[in-house]
Every structure is written in C-alpha cells, then in structure tokens.
Chain A
Amino acid sequence: MTHSLHRRGSSASLANDYVILVTPAVGFNDEGAPDKLREALEVVLEAGPANIGSYATGTVFAGATPEEIRKGLWEQPRVRCAFAGREQVKRVLEELKKKDLGLSVTVSGLTDEVLDLAREVGLKPHSINLSLGVWGNTAALPSEDVLEFVTMCGHGLISRYLVEKAIDLVRRGRRTPEQAARMIAPPCVCGIFNPVRAAELFRKYVPAGGREEQE
C-alpha cells in the first residue's frame, strides 16, 4: 500500500514535505531487523522529524513517546516519519548511507527534489511509485482545500469533518494554525502527517487581525 504517495496540493505547498520509510522486506531480510531499525530510528530522531509514529503505538501527537516507538519496533518493524525540511532529510540519508544497514529506504516528496537529494548523497534510486491521480466519481470528493489535509494520512483516518471543523475554528479565531494542525494530527497512526505543512495550509484561514501562535 502507498499511504504516502497521494498527497494533494500544488508543488509549492508540497515543497518541504517529505516522508521517509525504512522497511525490512518480509521473508528476505527481516531477521534481526528490529536492531537495525532502532539504529535508523536514532538517526531520524536526531534530525528532528515533524512527526513520527508506528502502527503499534500511534504517534507522538497521540501521546506515544520515542521510547514506546523504539519498543514497538519488535511488533511492527518499520520506521515511518515526516520531515519539513530538505536539509534534515539529506542529513538522515547521509547517516543511513554511512551505516549501510541494508534495509530499504523510500522518500516521498516532490520527485525532482527527491532525485536531486539522492544524487547529492550519492545514492542510485532503484524504482519509483508514481501517482496517476484520482479517477472515478471525483465530483463526490470534498474540496481540494480539504483534500490537501486529509491526504497527508494516506490511510484515510483524518476525517474530512475534523478538517472542516478545524478550518472553522481557525476562521473564527478559536484556534491558531499550529493548534489546528495538532488537533487533526492524532488519527494518523503511523506518523506521516506533516503538522508543519498543515499549519502553513491553515494560515490562509486566519482572520484579519486574528489569532497566531502564542505558545
């Protein structure tokens, strides 16, 4: 499945939105993988992800701690995280290359940016999953403004109704963009929802003279 592939939005809004997955292949190289994943997890945590989680624990926005995510690697051996900065992603890839853990690594993001990053780090991409868009009864979909948020959880767990409520709260000055981003983050259990991008997307709903982050 490809829960990080179909993020909607313009190229401008997708810049600085990256998802990194480190995955052992079941039946190929998954024996002993949790220890390698733990090393990968430390690299990721050191770089300062915007979000991180696991199927076993949920995300940091749902109350999971890094220690719980470490322990959860025994049950669901994958590292999943979102980053909001190109340089952080580059640092992670450089470190993972040095460690040569032998686990598969994918990066989702603007294709040209990801391929540039690979070149800069000295990696030779193997394959790609392209998004050919949404087909069928697209008239039944919510607006693109809502889709930009909900498609950051590819599993479809961030409800359109929660997003619409959060937009309304921002419009009425009851939530800051950052608070709204944190409000809709918890349902995305694997931690690829990018709250930094979400806050940027919410910013256009702030009323004139309205509420910005005060914490």
Chain B
Amino acid sequence: MYIDPQKCNGCSICIPYCPAGAISLVEAPGSKRGRVAVVDQEACLECGNCIHRGVVKCPTSAFSEDPGIWDTARAIRRFFSDPMVKHPVTSVPGRGTEEVKTNDVTGRVKRGEVGIGIEMGRPCLGTSFAEVEKVTRALAPLGIAFEECNPLTHLMDDRTRGTFPPEVKAQRVISAIIEFTAPAALLPDILRVLREVAPTLETVFSLDLISCFEPDGSLPVLSVLRELGIEPRPNAKVNLGMGRPRAVDKEVAAS
C-alpha cells in the first residue's frame, strides 16, 4: 500500500490500524503539519486494512494500492493477508479450504482421518514463507499430501520435500495455513514433528485438528490427545450436520 504524500495531512489516524506496524510519520517541511505518514514496504503485509471501507477513514483518501502488484511476487501478500481477495486457484475467499465448515457435504475429512491446519503467523506475528518452509520440510518425510485446494500448496516448488522457491520465501503475510488430511494413526507422529519444529520458529502457529464424530457422538481423537498430553482449548467450531447431500450418505450409496 502507498500513501500519497501530496494528500496526507499528517493526522496519524491510520497508524494504530496497521497490524504490521508498517506506518510511521516522517518530517515533511512545507506540509500541513510538517510531517506525513509513510508505509514501510518491507513491513507492509498488504492486508488492505487501510483501504477497506469504513476502517481507517483517512480524511484525505491518501491510501492506494499499487495496481502493478498483481504481476509480482508481492501479490502473494495480498492473497494471503486480505480476506476480501479471492484466490484464483481455490475459488474460495481466504487462505485455505472450507475445512470443517462444509465437511458434512464435502467429506474432506472422514472417520478414521484427521484434518490438520497449521495457521502460521497467527495470532499477531505474521509469517514469512521461509518460516512456513521450516514446518512443511519437517512434515514432508511423513509422506504428507499437502492440501490441493489451498493456495499455499500451489506455491511449493517440490511438494514431496515441502519446499518453496526463493522469491516466495522472501514474502511475508499475516498468515498462511498449511493444510492436509491424514490417517488418524499418523497423528502422534505429526504432533511429534510439530513439537520438534516449533522451538525453531521466529513466529507462532495456531493448530487446528478436525475430526468426525462417531455415530454415538463420541470423539476418539480426544483420548489420543490425552495420551500425548495435549488438551484442546475449551472452545471449538462444530459442524452441525445440516448440509445436504451428506457426504456419509454418498459414501453409503457408493458402497
């Protein structure tokens, strides 16, 4: 994002809205307040907060987006940081799949499987793709098939090794989600690898685990987590099974 120095009146209203802390004031002799706001392009994650309607309310409409950004590697920042931008690969707004939201219909994660989401950079810190690669490279030897319907996977230059090209690794974003589905039996190994790689990170990740309820309403994965000494947070996201056609019905019909 850019701030037009001719328009900016140096009021500084925008500064606290930037999640990346990328906006600061610099001296500008001759301007209204003797200062104008500027965007540190390296720090800017292109989240669009400053140009979204009704957010910053810049009194002089001084913010704009570089129209040429979409032809550069910097477009990665827009796709991954601004939820109002839809990625052309997935046709889904945001940074990942519909995960548990539509799992009753898609059957993306089935009984006997787990869905994993590793939300790199979340909360607050953001992430570079070099950090993302630390995690994907650590997971790849487990034979992980990274989620096809996730823009992050499409940025890899070698999915079997979990690597990204240099121009991608240089980009920083608010968050990027490593997603995949795996047999439930692999969960202890996945969590072991994540425990090993987590201390090597400069950033953080929030960890998601999707699992299907059994017909009796139980959740076998809870006992596995307990054995591993991991307690889920008290809040979760529950798919209430109201979607049609239900994935399980289709499975039954096909068998």
Q: What residues of chain A have their CB less than 8 Å away from a CB belonging to chain B?
A: 1-8, 11, 14, 17, 19, 21, 23-26, 28-29, 55-58, 61-64, 76, 93, 96-97, 100-112, 114-115, 118, 123-138, 140-142, 147, 150-151, 154-162, 164-165, 186-187, 189-190
Contact = CB atoms under 8 A, between A and B. Distances in A.
With most chain A CB atoms within 10 A of its CB, the pick from B86, B98, B99, B126 is: B98
B59 interface: no
A62 to B, nearest CB: 3
Given A25-B105, A127-B212, A147-B124, A3 B53 contact: no
A60 to B, nearest CB: 10
A132 to B, nearest CB: 4
Given A96-B242, A123-B240, A162-B16, A64 B54 contact: yes
Nearest to B221: A130
B174 interface: yes
B124 A108 contact: no
B236 A129 contact: yes
5 residue pairs, one from A and one from B, having the closest CB atoms: A62-B54, A104-B243, A102-B244, A126-B241, A25-B102
B12 to A, nearest CB: 11
Given A105-B240, A126-B240, A136-B203, A156 B174 contact: yes
B19 A28 contact: no
B237 A162 contact: no
A62 B52 contact: yes
Using C-beta atoms within 8 Å of the partner chain, give the interface range for chain B: 35 or more
Nearest to B246: A126
Contact of B240 (A19, A93, A130, A156): A93
B102 A125 contact: no
Contact of B101 (A63, A104, A118, A135): A104
23 contacts: A1-B97, A1-B99, A2-B208, A4-B237, A7-B235, A25-B106, A26-B98, A58-B52, A108-B238, A114-B236, A124-B217, A125-B217, A126-B212, A127-B210, A129-B208, A131-B208, A140-B203, A147-B123, A150-B124, A157-B49, A158-B19, A161-B18, A161-B19
Contacts of B217: 124-125
A147 B122 CA distance: 11
Interface of B: 15-19, 21, 47, 49, 52-55, 81, 83-84, 86, 91-106, 109, 115, 117, 119, 121-126, 174-175, 177, 194-195, 198-199, 201-213, 217, 219, 221, 225, 230, 232-246, 248
A74 B107 CA distance: 25
Contacts of A6: 119, 122-123, 206, 233
Contacts of B125: 137, 140-141
Contacts of A93: 240
A12 to B, nearest CB: 10
Given A127-B109, A159-B49, A1 B119 contact: yes
A128 B233 CA distance: 12
Contacts of B83: 3, 55, 155, 157, 189-190
Given A127-B211, A186-B55, 15 more contacts: A2-B208, A6-B123, A55-B84, A57-B53, A62-B52, A125-B217, A125-B238, A126-B213, A128-B210, A128-B213, A129-B239, A130-B210, A131-B236, A140-B204, A157-B47
A150 B55 contact: no
A115 B211 CA distance: 15
Nearest to B90: A26
B124 A156 contact: yes
Nearest to A56: B84
Contacts of B55: 58, 62, 186-187
Nearest to B209: A130
A142 B49 contact: no
A26 B91 contact: yes
A30 to B, nearest CB: 9
Contacts of B207: 131-135
B105 A131 contact: no
Contact of B238 (A115, A160, A162): A115
Nearest to B96: A1
A146 to B, nearest CB: 8
B234 A129 contact: no
A3 B55 CA distance: 19
